[in-house]
Amino acid sequence: MSSSALSGLRLLSSVELDSRSILTTVLAGDHRLADRLEEAQRLPIASRIWARLRIEALTPSQLLQCLNHLLKMAGNPKLMNPPLLQTLCEHAAGNLRLLMNMANDLLAAALHQEREQIDEKLFFEVFALDPKPSSKRS
């Protein structure tokens, strides 16, 4: 978020109508947002924040617990095999959103290939660091 946007937010949040603020805002971001709000020039907006919640990176076991729960709630706890679950959780870098995005990409690929279970082989196909060159010749 730019400095001018934060400054505008500060001005809007200071306007009161009938002794009540007319704007409620939720700011969400990673550690960089928190760091920016700690800068001296951001003190006016930072002082208007009533509640703060910092979410730290999750451990691979926490990510695994969440993923298992979501698969169970979706009605297919065996959709992904255990080695793949472990691999996903280790590659998510503690970030739940990244884990969900990777799982979504795998699900889309599995649907395209009409697979009944998702395994590590598909993981390496989808997230290959060195894509295979096209076999077409010009």
Domains in the chain: boundaries: 3-46, 60-126
**pLDDT for the residue numbered 53:** 81
pLDDT confidence tier of residue 98, bands split at 50, 70 and 90 = very high
Q: For residue 11, is pLDDT > 70?
A: no
pLDDT of residue 92: 96
pLDDT digits (tens, 9 = 90+) for 63-92: 999 999 999 999 999 999 999 999 999 999
Please tell me the predicted confidence (pLDDT) of residue 105: 97
Burial of 115 (0-12, 13-18, 19+ CB in 10 A): middle
34-47 tens-digit pLDDT:
888 888 888 887 88
Which range is least confidently modeled, 15-29, 30-44, 55-69? Answer: 15-29
The pLDDT of residue 51 is 81
Confidence at residue 21, expressed as pLDDT on a 0 to 100 scale? 65
Q: What is the reported pTM? A: 0.64
Q: List beta partners, residue 16.
A: 21
